[in-house]
Structure 1
Amino acid sequence: MSLPPPPHPGFFEVLSSRRAYTTLLYLLLSLATGILAFTYAVTGLSLSLGLAILIIGLPVALLFLSGTRLLAVAEMHWLKALVGGEEAEAPPLLPVGEGWAARLGALVRDRRTWTSLLYFVLLMPLGVVYFTTLVSLLTTGLALVAVPVLSLLHATGTSSVDLGGPAWLAAHPSLTAVLCGLAGLTLVPLTLHLALLLGRFQTWLARHLLVRA
């Protein structure tokens, strides 16, 4: 029996949600894992096709496809651990069949094997989008939150940081610092909410390409 997805936290409640931070970690690491998965998929497919005319081509192709299924199982467990996709079961390592020969033959014919390859090819561009978007939003939000602190240190003489900018901002430094702080306190939770939504999308994609294909 599948478990229902965990409820989405409130706007500021997300700041204390462990799942939000583990999902953010998964999405940030997806750049590195996406590059590795893409390299494995493209290299393995190229080797399998290039060696197809040789007797060694068949063992290499079967080993590559078996490794793809193994990576699919690992990816679902990785998603479940960090993102929380409890409703998504891990795919079987090899198709059901009587004997190794039948199971390896079914491995080639199984649609899930090829959709798993598609998933790993898509993981790299998705990882680039996840990483650049979340890092840009998170650093901007944290920088805005730091503006009131830096402004206070500047006013007390503890810090000599210049918070200058356009003339109308420089003419009202206190108001500018407050507005920046409020904007940062809004942007940081929004970034975590976006991470949760992207994590759910990634779980949905993995469930349909790795499990239910």
Structure 2
Amino acid sequence: MNDNRPPQSIPEYLEQLSQSLAGADPALVQDALYDAEEYLRSELAEQPGRSEAEVIASVASSYGAPEEVADIYRDTEVKVQTALRPPAPKPRTSLLGRFFGVAADPRTYASMFYMVLSLATGIFYFTWVVTGLSVSLSLVVVLIGIPLLILFFGSIRLLSLVEGRLVEVMLGERMPRRPLYSARGRNWLQRIGDMFTDVRTWSTLLYMLVMLPLGVVYFTVTVTLLSLSLSMVAAPLALLPGLHLNVWEFGIDIPQQAPYLLPLVSVAGVVLLFASLHLFRGIGRMHGNIAKHLLVKTAQYS
């Protein structure tokens, strides 16, 4: 339940804002908390000598009370998502329409491209985490490893934002557009401690480590299914004079021993191709949920 008492400090304002956004997307809450604190602290810096309560009261008319800011963010989110969402494919009621209609969904091809790209990003993330951890931890005994470890964890938060943008653009899952919120009213030692104790720091490390095996699987599945289905679709070309295509099924050289089966192979290739597109889109949705759970802070003020 929201506290109707006007906030007397920035942490109180942020807590009320978080409560007003209860039930909203965690990524939206993270953005709202970051923006609010950034604005309030800039106003506090421009008005030296005034207390936080006085500054908050003075900017309430321009920035808004927590409940008003929450409503603005919710309304803006709907407008932004509507503007950014790709055109929805025409609804299809028949089974065949839904099966072949996957080709008209832009998210299908974006998910497929993400699966191919994930091999490169997975290799980079895995290498960065393993190298950063091993180098910084090995140098902790000579003290220089401590600032290196702090910088490494800072870089992990930055990379999580980059990955979040890829996930949101390609997979359609709402991800944070601002850095992870941290209570900047605390001193720098406390904030460093928060970074090490924040569960999202470690879940982000886990995400970047598992991206390598996931990337290998995604890339292999995509390339294998596309090459197999497209080669089956093109099987009838083996009947053209001058073309020597090898089409083997169950140990049979179909162009030589059973050319009448080539059209059936082509039809099977079409079915496999569209089934693969459904699989790509489904994997994209699944990975978006994985990224949301591991990279986004829960919608709770702390």
1:100 to 1:194, Cα distance in 2 relative to 1, 3 A: farther
Name 1:125's counterpart in structure 2.
Answer: 213
2:181 is the alignment partner of 1:98: no
Q: Is the 8 A contact 1:69 1:94 kept in 2?
A: no
2:243 is the alignment partner of 1:160: yes
Name 2:95's counterpart in structure 1.
Answer: none
What SS class does the counterpart of residue 293 from structure 2 fall into? helix
When the two structures are aligned, how many residues end up with a matched partner? 206
1:64 to 1:164, Cα distance in 2 relative to 1, 3 A: closer
For residues 39-188 of structure 1, the aligned pairs below 5 Å read: 39-86=127-174, 88-90=175-177, 92-93=179-180, 95-99=182-186, 101=188, 102-151=190-239, 154=240, 157=241, 159-162=242-245, 165=248, 166=252, 170-174=256-260, 176-188=261-273
Identity, % of aligned positions:
37
Q: Is the 8 A contact 2:136 2:149 kept in 1?
A: yes
Name 2:4's counterpart in structure 1.
Answer: none
Q: What root-mean-square deviation, in Å, do the aligned CA atoms of Structure 1 and Structure 2 show? A: 2.6
2:285 is the alignment partner of 1:200: yes
Larger Rg: 2
**Unaligned ranges ≥5, structure 2:** 1-23, 26-77, 92-97
Q: Is the 8 A contact 1:141 1:184 kept in 2?
A: yes
Task: State the TM-score, normalizing by the size of structure 1.
Answer: 0.86
1:96 to 1:168, Cα distance in 2 relative to 1, 3 A: same
What SS class does the counterpart of residue 98 from structure 1 fall into? coil
1:181 to 1:57, Cα distance in 2 relative to 1, 3 A: same
Alpha-carbon distance in structure 1 between the residues aligned to 2:191 and 2:182: 6
Higher RCO (CA 8 Å, separation ≥ 6 residues): 1
Task: State the TM-score, normalizing by the size of structure 2.
Answer: 0.62
